[in-house]
Amino acid sequence: MSIDISKLLQGNRRALAKAITLTESKLDQHRDQAQALLEQVLPHTGNSIRVGITGIPGVGKSTFIESFGLHLIKQGHKVAVLAVDPSSPITGGSILGDKTRMEVLSQQENAFIRPSPSGGALGGVAQKTREAMLLCEAAGYDVILVETVGVGQSEYEVAGMVDFFLVLMLPNAGDELQGIKKGILELADAIAVNKADGSNRQLAQQTQRHYQNALGILQHNNFWKPEVVLCSALEGGNIDTIWQMIEDYKTKSCEIGFFEGNRAAQNKQWMWRLVHELIDRRLKQDADSRQLCDQMQTKVTQGETTPYVAAHRIVESL
């Protein structure tokens, strides 16, 4: 699969789409081509703000992202939306169809929307989303929005690859506050209570107070206190406030060196995760290693050796 790098760097959406498709391929040949491409465009990456957006199904993520994206485009930004979709068990492709849910935004010249199927290749969704993010930056997109399906493991993966993590909530504090994972609140750089319009307004304000109290007892980084804001994606209420908050966060984190330091730490963690996954893959692909793994597994389950000794034998075999 040939990719015209000059077109990609000029922001050609077709070239960008082809490049992302290449990174998503499970073929070894395509994977090697994709990594060579990524190394070539690496000097042109990093010039964006990466924002993760999550929330339970029904909170209005797609409506919010469309409203937010349109606001950013009016401000002169180029916006890429990478949506972490659940994978189809039949084709392995994305099944939510984000472009149909963000119809107005998808028609904008300065917007690019791409679902990332969450199953399959080495590194899973985090691998493909990270690489798509770099390619979008190389193509000139200066705001990258990464949307996740709901509250689960993908939130932790996305939080480990973005600069700012926004959690959307509904105006019904009681039940939702009971159900939300404490870990998700610890990840949040801000909470936006969506659908704060009409008859929901008073309930949304009550919810805002609940979350402010919840965030008050959690430890976060020392330069930023997570805010809880009300918004209405449908009416466009406070969308500008949320963007201003993200810009303030970037300014403060850059001033103290946290912004670049955090990205460097994310890259280091990601490298070691891939090292572990590649070792695991090597063990499963090599016939002798696979046989040894089976033998050690049997010995451990039958109590003939300790897990440490078995693991040591397997690693030594490499």
pLDDT at 270: 86
Which residues, including other chains, have CB under 8 Å from residue 142's CB and lie 6 or more apart? 47, 48, 49, 77, 78
User: Is CATH 3.40.50.300 correct for 46-255?
Assistant: yes
pLDDT at 175: 52
pLDDT at 178: 47
Q: What is the pTM of this model?
A: 0.87
pLDDT at 181: 60
Query: What are the Cα distances from residue 279, in Å, to 102, 131, 240, 296, 317?
Result: 40, 21, 46, 17, 11
pLDDT at 9: 95
Query: What are the Cα distances from residue 11, in Å, to 2, 78, 109, 159?
Result: 17, 10, 10, 26
pLDDT at 177: 54
- Rounded to whole angstroms, the Cα distance separating 301 from 295 reads 10
pLDDT at 7: 94
pLDDT at 220: 72
Residue at token pair 């049997």: 298
Which residues, including other chains, have CB under 8 Å from residue 296's CB and lie 6 or more apart? 305, 310, 311, 313, 314
Task: Reduce the secondary structure of the chain to three states and give it as a string.
Answer: CCCCHHHHHCCCHHHHHHHHHHHHCCCHHHHHHHHHHHHHHHHHCCCCEEEEEECCCCCCHHHHHHHHHHHHHHCCCCEEEEEEECECCCCCCECCCHHHHCHHHHCCCCEEEEEEECCCCCCHHHHHHHHHHHHHHHCCCCEEEEECCCCCHHHHHHHCCCCEEEEEECCCHHHHHHHCCHHHHHHCCEEEECCCCHHHHHHHHHHHHHHHHHHHCCCCCCCCCCEEEECECCCCECHHHHHHHHHHHHHHHHHCCHHHHHHHHHHHHHHHHHHHHHHHHHHHHCHHHHHHHHHHHHHHHCCCCCHHHHHHHHHHHC
Domain ranges of the chain: 46-255, 271-317
* Buried residues in 179-201 as b, exposed as e (16+ CB within 10 A): ebeeebbebbbbbbbbbbbeebe
Walk along the chain (318 residues) and give the pLDDT tens digit of each residue.
688 899 999 999 999 999 999 988 878 888 889 999 999 999 999 999 999 998 888 888 999 999 999 999 999 999 999 987 654 434 444 444 444 578 899 999 999 999 876 555 444 556 688 899 999 999 999 999 999 876 566 778 888 899 999 999 888 755 555 455 666 788 899 999 999 888 888 889 988 888 888 887 776 778 898 999 999 998 889 999 999 999 999 999 999 999 999 999 999 988 998 888 888 888 888 888 889 999 999 999 999 999 999 999 998 887
